[in-house]
Amino acid sequence: MRSSCCGTSSRSTSGRSRQPSVGRRTRAASSPYARDVTWRPVGPVSRRIGEEREELAARFFDALREGDVGGLQELLAADVQLVADSGGKAPQWGRGAFGAANVARLLGSFLPWLAEIVVTIEEHELNGQPGAIFRDRDGLVLNTWTVDVLGGRIQAIRTVLNPEKLGHVGPVADAWAVLREAQRLRRPAP
């Protein structure tokens, strides 16, 4: 009899894995920690939560457009985080910001230049989350933002600045050129 690491028991196991699991309990299902993951249709409670989430996001983007730093801070959770993905191909705000006061201060610092370079904020659902597409004066995509809402507060703000990830949204702006323009406008005239 030959000794093999791939004997009949492993072959029968791999065969069972290809068979439908009708009547078999999976390891996860037999675990006392397994969660009920059955599909449930969206009902009135889910719709209400979705509407509250959309309304909070709309208030956030309105406050951002108006430059209302106090209004922004009141919508943020105490431990909110702002994270950005530039992939090294667009300007980024460092490693992110954490905490309501820090995030509000960071947002407030660049709100004036958004107005100076005529950035428009179009609210959209992105990746199943409320969000917005930021466009320059020519209508080119600068970045996208999504907000994670839980418990009536914004828990996270996620931005994508990487032009390689924005191409499916529309024609992408040169973010470095936009940043240079904003810096030029902020300098006092000689």
Q: What is the DSSP string of 74-143?
A: HHEEEEEEEEEE-TTSS---TT-EESHHHHHHHHHHHHHHHHHTT-EEEEEEETTEEEEEEE-TTS-EEE
pLDDT higher than threshold 60 for residue 169:
yes
Return the percentage of the chain with pLDDT > 90, whole number.
26
User: Which residues form the domain of 115?
Assistant: 44-186
Q: What are the tens digits of pLDDT across the range 5-47?
A: 444 444 444 444 445 444 444 444 444 444 444 444 444 545 6
52-88: pLDDT as tens digits? 889 999 999 998 888 888 999 999 999 999 998 877 7
- Indicate whether 119 belongs to any domain: yes
Q: Domain count for the chain, please give it.
A: 1
pLDDT at 44: 52
Residue 148: which of 41, 76, 62, 45 has the closest Cα? 76
| Angle 143-57-50 from CA coordinates, rounded to 5° | 120
CA angle, 117 as apex, 112 and 119 as ends, to 5°? 85
* Residue 128 included in any domain: yes
Distance CA 58, CA 37 (A): 31
Answer left, alpha or beta for residue 151, where phi above 0 means left and psi between -120 and 50 means alpha.
left
Task: Name the helix (H) or strand (E) containing 158.
Answer: strand 153-160
Domain membership flag for residue 17: no
Q: The CATH number of the domain where 144 resides is what?
A: 3.10.450.50
